[in-house]
Structures are given as structure tokens and as C-alpha cells.
Amino acid sequence: MSAWNTFLYAVSLLMMLLVRCCQLVCVEVPSDTEALHGTNMKLTCISCVRREEVNTDTLVAWTYVNNDQEISIYEFNGEPRGLKGPYQGRILWSGSKDLQDVSITIVNVTLNDSGLYRCTIKRYFNYKIHRPSVTDVKDVQLTVHEDEMIYCYRKILKSEQAAQENAADYLAIPSGNKEKQSTVPVEE
């Protein structure tokens, strides 16, 4: 093989690798965990998988975990399906068509909806001879607040605590201005 052919082969290989690296990326993000009574709450569950050219069958099961007992509340097996029980008619599919995002939304959350939710994704890879599978499990601990004022107060309190922790950064006085500044005691 001539040097020119070797160079072209190397460039072609490099281009294929670059194209492969520049494909869309699936980013797994944690779910929100706090909701206000009477609002809708999206429970986020994202499970990234490299699909390539392999055909997969994806099964999704959402359960509510109560004292180590899992109560099935929603399934996806080719199409979304709500289940009979306390969540019947209150859960909407919020996932994506490619089934990387398999989130659900609880409509009109109540205080009784507080608790642990489990999202289980099982993918079957369809090869000609072999059908391996992989399972991914995500947990979301949901807290439903009764009163908007309490919920807002907690958010403000957390924000104020973070600001106090970083107060030293904001109270620094540039050395060139020390003579012009009056001395004022700072209370914490």
C-alpha cells in the first residue's frame, strides 16, 4: 500500500471516529422531588442506551414502594398503560418516542402521594441468535407539601442559608478602598 493510500485510509478512519463521537448524547438528570398539593408532578426517569443498529424491546414499570411492598402504578410495553388502583386516571405518559426518557406525570398530587417511586426499565436486545437484556432501576423520593407558604418558606430558607455560607466572598473590601470605608460591625 502506498504512502498516499495509507494516509487516505487513516483520514477515513479518523473521520468515521469523529462522526461516531458527534452523535446525539442522552443526559440522565435527576427528578424533581418536591411538589405542591393539587399540582401536577413529573417524575423524571431517563435511561440512556446506545441503540446503534440493534433493535430493542423496552419494558417500563413504575411502582410505588410502601413498606418494602411494590405497588404497580404504570407500565409501558409497546404502548403506555395505566393500571387499576389508587393512581388510575391520574398518571400521564411523559416519556419520549425513543424510550430514553420514560418519565410519567402524576396529575393533581395529594399528600398521600408522598413516598418512594421506582422506575424499572428492562431492554431486550434483538439479535438473530441471542436476546440479552439489561435492567436499569431509578428511585424518586417524592415529598408533597400541603401549603404553598410552607413550601416557599423552605425554599427561601435554603437560599438564605446558602447566601450566608458564601457571605465572606461578598464582604471582601478591596485594599485600595479601606481608608474610605467606615467601620461597621457585621452581625451574623
- Look up the CATH number of the domain holding residue 52: 2.60.40.10
CA 73 to CA 86: how far, in whole Å? 8
pLDDT number for residue 57: 87
What is the sign, positive or negative, of the torsion defined by CA atoms of 3, 4, 7, 12? negative
Cβ contact 46:100 at 8 Å? yes
pLDDT of residue 151: 56
CB atoms within 10 A of CB 46: 20
What is the tally of structural domains in the chain?
1
CA 44 to chain centre: 5
Q: What is the pLDDT of residue 112?
A: 92
In a domain, 48, yes or no: yes
- For residue 79, is it within any domain? yes
- How, if at all, do strands 133-145 and 34-36 pair? parallel
pLDDT of residue 150: 55
Asked if 76 and 102 count as a contact pair (C-beta separation under 8 A), the reply is: yes
Q: Does residue 157 belong to any structural domain of this protein?
A: yes
In angstroms, the Cα distances linking 66 to 42, 63, 77 are: 20, 9, 24
Three-state DSSP at 130 gives coil
pLDDT of residue 85: 85
Q: Considering the domain boundaries, does residue 151 fall inside one?
A: yes
pLDDT of residue 157: 66
Residues of the chain with pLDDT below 70 are 1-30, 50-53, 148-155, 157, 162-188
Residues linked to residue 101 through DSSP beta bridges, in sequence order: 46
Domain assignment present for residue 54? The answer is yes
The answer to whether residue 126 sits within a structural domain is: yes
The verdict on residue 176 lying in a domain is: no
Name the residue range of residue 104's domain: 26-165
In a domain, 19, yes or no: no
CA gap 45, 65 in Å, rounded: 16
pLDDT digits (tens, 9 = 90+) for 68-111: 889 999 999 988 888 888 889 999 999 988 888 999 999 999 99
